[in-house]
Structure 1
Amino acid sequence: MRLISTKVLQPGMVIGRTIWNEAGRPLLHEGVVASSQIINRLSQLNVQYVYINDKISQGIEIVEAVPLHARRQAVEKITGSFTMLKDRKNVDSTYCLDQQSKHFVSIIDQLLESIVNSEEIITVLSDAFIYDEYIYQHSLQVAIYSIAIARELKYTSDEVRQIGIGAMLHDVGKMLIPQEILSKPSRLTNEEYNTMKFHAKYGFDLLRNLHTISLLSAHCAFQHHERLDGSGYPRGLIDFEIHPYAKIIAVADVFDAVTSNRVYRKKMLPSQGMEIINQGIGTLYDEKVVKAFQKCIAVYPNGTVVLLSDGRRAIVSKQNRMAPERPWIRIFEENGELLSATYESCLEDEPAVKIQQVEVEYLIHSE
């Protein structure tokens, strides 16, 4: 299985992974042969990447720490709960959220069980789901990343649960922001941006009065946009004033934001998203949190074509839990020529070789 940009998807290529809609129904089945109509439809849906099956990537699989069916079920619960809250507006919002809290706890417990019982690092989904509402998928992804970071930092199970719930509900205050601002397809004006920033306080006010959710989880909503250097909002807190849980969610939140499709911006690849995070170490983001995140995220997902610093091309074939930035690779090209037989190597065993770039638009000569 190989990850490619839909820009270079051609009729006759075989789809390697099913794409689902938010109702849990398949939009495009694994094994379907791409046609011009299918390619046009993917473009209309703003799908940037798809997995294909071909000879060169045969046997490479995408293994998830959190199974796809568990993700779908979680998003369905989040969507139902958030929609109910949005429909209620300010009337009985806290009561409504309190009633839904058991769903949030069950989601986090399920995610925690999946991640604890899996040896897999977290893979960023590449357009596996198509959602009309970004916030629901985002809430789930931030929870998954935050739980993984918290586990890497050796928090207790109860602490991880608090962090996970805070992460899943970090944007709940957006349900009280006008829809025309949330869904605006262009850059917000200064006035609109100032309105948007209130979502952190709105979320805190909603959550702090709940009997079923920890006050620490509420502070995750309040502080997830704060930054170490005081440049964040809503209170401009600096390093020691920001709760450690919020520092975790800040990293997870930004990473998922830049690696997800938005109405006003194309998403970045995981390696590009991690570079954005790395640039903010010590000024925006806590170094310990970032280092932990680097250990539990697939920066180069399985099936990704990479150009190596020595000129070889390869496909990432397997993750390396001890050094995710140096995965196992399947070399298929040397000196610009396809090899008659591929071979496997772990980049950890080739310290002089680095991944120079990801090539999702690379077409193998035979194609």
Structure 2
Amino acid sequence: MRLVKTTTVRPGTRLGKAIYNDNGKVLVNKGVSLEERILKRLNELNITYIYIDDKQTEGIEFKDPISPQLRQEAVTTIKTTLKSVIDEPISSKSFVLEKSVKQYQNIIRNIISELDSNSELMSILSDVCIHDNYIFTHSLNVTLYSLAVGMELNLKPAQLETVGLGSILHDIGKVTVPKEILLKPGRLTDQEFDVIKTHTTEGFDILRNSYSVPLLVAHCAFQHHERLDGSGYPRGIKGQEIHDFAKLIAVSDVFDAVTSNRVYRSAMLPHEGLELLYAGVERQYELNVVKAFHKAVAIYPVGITVELNDGRKGVVVKQNAALSDRPIVRILEENGEQVEPYELNLEEKLSFVIIGCDTTFKEHQNK
């Protein structure tokens, strides 16, 4: 399979990976012939990228970082909790959350266990799924990224659990933001953005008043939009005033936000999101956290077409541990001409580097 931009796919192409919604329901199954009406619907749903099958990329499979069952349990728990909390008055929101804390803790432990047993680099392609509400899947993705980075930083088990809980609940304050602002398709006014900013303090209040939630988890929600140079919110604190866990979650939060499709902009590809993080190093984000993120997360996910500095093109087949920008590539083209496919391990061939990605569907792919 390979990853391509939905708008470039020809009718009749076969889907390489099923498309699900947040409830775990298959909306378009693997192997389905993508007729014009299906492609039109996918574009209407803002699915920017999809996996397709072709002969040149047979045997290439994208592996999700956690099992479908655990993902569904996590998203369902987030969705159920937030919907319960949103319907309660301010004074009762912490009490309602209290009922779900143990379930969240079990989910975090199970995620840590599955990530620990998976030797693959973290790879999430948010944009190849249909999401009923961005906040649910965003909270889980930020958790997965944060835990992967925490493991790379050698955090202790108890610290990982705190980071995980802080990540999965980092946006809980958004239950207090009016839907017409939270889901607004256009640019926010200054007044509307001020309302959005309140989710950090509202989340802090909900979490700190919940008996079972560690205070540090509440501070993760409070500080995940703070920046090293003081340009963040809600308090504009700087450097060491920001807790290390909040700095970690901030990086994961930004990366998932920019690599997810939103109603007001298209998703970046992972390597573009990483470039954005590096552009903010020392000014907004800690260098050691961004470096750990770079090592732990697959920047060129399996299935994406890449171009090398010598003009060759191919599809990423597999990741090399701790070398996210040096995967194994199945070479398909040399100097614009198709060749008999062969694999090139960039970990062993250091003179070759990836200089770009191509997600355009080409006619020869199914020949």
Specify the TM-score bucket, using the shorter chain as the normaliser.
Answer: over 0.9
CA RMSD across the alignment: 1.2
Q: How does 1:228-247 map to 2 (within 5 A)?
A: 228-247=228-247
Residue equivalent to 1:180 = 180
Structure 1 pair 366–23 and aligned structure 2 pair: CA distance change class (3 A): closer
Residue equivalent to 1:365 = 364
Shift of 1:126: 4.6
TM-score, normalised on structure 2? 0.97
Look up the SS of the partner of 1:104 in the other structure. helix
Shift of 1:322: 3.1
Residue equivalent to 2:80 = 80
Shift of 1:76: 0.9
1-structure distance, mates of 2:48, 2:200: 30
2-structure distance, mates of 1:24, 1:365: 34
Residue equivalent to 1:338 = 338
Residue equivalent to 1:100 = 100
Look up the SS of the partner of 1:352 in the other structure. coil
* Matched letter for residue 187 of structure 1: R
Shift of 1:362: 4.5
Residue equivalent to 2:272 = 272
Look up the SS of the partner of 1:284 in the other structure. coil
Is 1:35 equivalent to 2:35 in the alignment? yes
Give the percent of matched residue pairs that are identical in Structure 1 and Structure 2. Answer: 44
Residue equivalent to 1:148 = 148
Deviations for 1:78-110, whole angstroms, at most 9, x for unmatched residues? 100111001114241110111121221122111
* Matched letter for residue 347 of structure 1: L
Q: Gaps spanning 5+ residues in structure 2: where?
A: none
Shift of 1:128: 3.9
Residue equivalent to 2:2 = 2
2-structure distance, mates of 1:172, 1:257: 16
Residue equivalent to 1:57 = 57
Residue equivalent to 1:285 = 285
Q: Gaps spanning 5+ residues in structure 1: where?
A: none
Residue equivalent to 1:139 = 139
Residue equivalent to 2:215 = 215
* Matched letter for residue 256 of structure 2: D
2-structure distance, mates of 1:329, 1:89: 54
Shift of 1:309: 1.1
Residue equivalent to 1:261 = 261
1-structure distance, mates of 2:327, 2:361: 19
* Matched letter for residue 153 of structure 2: L
1-structure distance, mates of 2:138, 2:253: 8
How many residue pairs match? The answer is: 366
Contact 1:64 1:120 in 2 (8 A): no
Residue equivalent to 2:195 = 195
Structure 1 pair 126–201 and aligned structure 2 pair: CA distance change class (3 A): closer
Residue equivalent to 1:116 = 116
2-structure distance, mates of 1:271, 1:297: 10
The range that moved more, 2-11 or 101-110, is: 101-110
* Matched letter for residue 93 of structure 2: S
Contact 2:143 2:168 in 1 (8 A): yes
The range that moved more, 184-193 or 58-67, is: 58-67
Structure 1 pair 172–269 and aligned structure 2 pair: CA distance change class (3 A): same
TM-score, normalised on structure 1? 0.97
Contact 1:224 1:249 in 2 (8 A): yes
Structure 1 pair 326–335 and aligned structure 2 pair: CA distance change class (3 A): same
